[in-house]
Structure 1
Amino acid sequence: MTFITVKQASELLGFSEKYIRKLVFLKKIPYFKPLGGKILFDQEELERLVRASRVASNEDLAEKADALLNSGGRR
């Protein structure tokens, strides 16, 4: 597990440090705050969060629709 700071998280995600802190305040992203000190993030966890929020392209959706139609509605 690799811990990163607010500054490193902002660079990784492409957001300002202020916006990262806002996400922390709103509890929109997972973080650690050992002994009430610095805010830290698990880098791998942030990367998984980004991957999990992928938006499918029109091509991806068309392929899924074709597969569903060709399977007779069975998944």
Structure 2
Amino acid sequence: MTEQRKLLSTKEAAEYCGFKLSYFRKLMMRRAIPMYKPCGKLCFFKREDLDAFLTGVRISSQGEINEEADRYLAGRK
């Protein structure tokens, strides 16, 4: 059994996230995604960092918004 490598290359990271390579590179240039550059040229990525990036901004569903509004209005009475 081979141990899975912990760091991903740029291409592997883009595939892992489901992004086109060109869009992933744009995110890299904007420094939106955390990366590791041990030699100053090649970039590597941790799956945990990519997961955190992908789940970093959560949008509430309309049902959750309605429930929060109901709780707010109930508290004002």
TM-score, normalised relative to structure 1: 0.78
How many angstroms does 1:3 deviate by?
Answer: 1.8
TM-score, normalised relative to structure 2: 0.77
Q: Aligned residue for 2:22?
A: 18
How many angstroms does 1:47 deviate by?
Answer: 0.6
Structural RMSD (CA): 1.8
The question of 1:71 aligning with 2:71 is answered no
2:19 maps to amino acid: F
Identity %: 32
Task: Structure 2 unaligned segments of length 5 or more: list them.
Answer: 1-5
The question of 1:46 aligning with 2:47 is answered no
Q: Which has the larger radius of gyration?
A: 2
- In 1, the alpha carbon distance for the partners of 2:48 and 2:21 equals 19
